[in-house]
Amino acid sequence: MARRIVFVCTGNICRSPTAQGVLHKLATAHGLAGRVEVASAGLQDWHAGAPPDARSTEHALRRGYDIAGQRARHFTPLDFEHFDQVIAMDAGHHDQLRRLCPPRHAHKLRRAADFSDRVPAGGVPDPYYGDANEFEAVLDLIEAICQGVLAEVGPPREPPPAAGRIAGRK
């Protein structure tokens, strides 16, 4: 069964869709695509239905992550039911999610900073009002976070021996 992960930021147009795209591509590259289901959402519904910010899309694509097909969506309390991990991109998001989270799902809530020592305790800064350097710095942090997530998912499983074949024999 795949681990279902949702990244959450403010409007779901910069950080969280980038994280979704990066984790999807890295999981596929590491042979873990079948073990990870990834999505993203925003705490605010301002951009629901909109594509990621053009600058996020552009910078992600330069590194080989195509996020253009994603559409922003609003995080809902049902997401706590569906997802195994709810990853807040910054400390403010974590605080908001903690207030929304039913106690029975509190174990699912994580901070992006939990996955890499490279991420400041406050989490991934919002590049929305920044320049190209800030979008690149955010990508660096998100790549580190996604590597940490994949480390928790674990290495790809070995396929079972072929039917009728005894392990250790050719």
Domains annotated on the chain, with CATH: 3-153 (3.40.50.2300)
Pick the catalytic residue from 53, 79, 90, 126: 126
CA distance 11 to 82: 20
Is there a catalytic annotation at residue 9?
Answer: yes
Pick the catalytic residue from 9, 14, 101, 146: 9
Q: Of 70, 77, 60, whose CA–CA distance to 39 is shortest?
A: 70
pLDDT-flagged residues of the chain (< 70) = 156-170
CA distance 141 to 120: 9
On the 0-12 / 13-18 / 19+ scale of CB atoms within 10 A, 12 is buried
pTM over 0.85: yes
- Could you tell me which residues are beta bridge partners of residue 87? 7, 110
Is there a catalytic annotation at residue 15?
Answer: yes
